[in-house]
Amino acid sequence: MTTTASDVTFRPLAGPEELGLFQQLSYVLDHEVEDDLATGRRRPAWMWVALRGERVLARLSWWTPPDHEAPFLLDFLDVDDSLPPAERHAVGVELLETATAAVIPRGAPRPEYGRFTPGDWREDAHAREVVETRMDIVAATGGELLVERLRLEWRPGTPVPEPSTRLVFRPATDREELLSLMELVLEGTLDEHSRTELRTMTPRASAELMYDEEFATYRTPREWWRIAELPDGGGPVGFVVPARNNYHPIIAYIGVLPAHRGHGHIDDILAEGTRVLAAQDVPRIRAATDFGNVPMAKAFARAGYATFGCAINMVWPGEG
């Protein structure tokens, strides 16, 4: 599908051979796109450009996990920042609306929009303009800010915490055990994505969605997933899911059961997850947590994880 407004053409890529055209504009995820196309995480029909002649004025792309058939996340939305502000806003809005109408079925919810940002983007005038330009485009189409997140990283050479003397760890036995613990951990959660889900679904349904859409896609051993327990049969305290996603080793999820919060167990559980991945000689470990989840952010800092950036997540409420 190709549409034209004035002298600007809006269309999807014809195929992977147009990757160079798409990358006339730049973003921190550019280096991943070629492999994403090869593995089906992106598709040319989901990658759109706004063109004036051969010049790319704006671009966007949706992404999806392996083996998924529908777009899952809008993670590219760029405009040529040398354009006058009013023009780049108008072109960005029209590209987003045109591509969405062509790619997302009528009545289906729009996938969330996510963008990685520098940690100091509000203090840096140029970075702030770049981020706010994209956010304004999404807002003009009905999107709203859901949450801002810290992006965290542990690097080799950072001391690995000693094993816990208060807890014992074992692999998760099966899906059902982990789902049961996830369901409990969701009580009082400070994670905004989970809190949003819990407004419309049960904790069990939220846990199943997270497991099936995230945990089930990891190709790394399930034996890495650790249940933390009190010694001598004292029962579970929490759990951690160390894994590797399509791009990095990660702490995918970590939680302490409500009955055991406030006793510092999060440090022992995070340390165990970090040790599991560090033992694999990984080049880095990535993690993320909401700005509002101050206890978790402090736990990551104590474990030697440094903040290297942030992420903005926006949604279109009430659609679908």
Q: Which residue has the tokens 């094993």?
A: 163
Question: What burial class does residue 4 get, using C-beta atoms within 10 Å of its C-beta: 0-12 exposed, 13-18 middle, 19+ buried?
Answer: exposed
Supply the DSSP symbol for 64. Answer: -
- 142 phi-psi bin (left φ>0, alpha ψ -120 to 50, beta other): left
User: pLDDT-based confidence at 258, cuts 50/70/90?
Assistant: very high
Between CA 77 and CA 48 the distance in angstroms is 10
User: pLDDT-based confidence at 276, cuts 50/70/90?
Assistant: very high
Each residue's pLDDT tens digit, 156-204: 999 988 888 899 999 988 999 999 999 999 999 999 999 999 999 999 9
- 11 phi-psi bin (left φ>0, alpha ψ -120 to 50, beta other): beta
How confident is the model at residue 246, as a pLDDT? 87
For the whole prediction, is pTM greater than 0.75? yes
Each residue's pLDDT tens digit, 105-154: 999 999 999 999 999 999 999 999 999 999 999 999 999 999 999 999 99
Q: Which residues pair with 150 in a beta bridge?
A: 289, 310
Mean pLDDT of the chain: 94
How confident is the model at residue 61, as a pLDDT? 98
Between CA 160 and CA 156 the distance in angstroms is 9
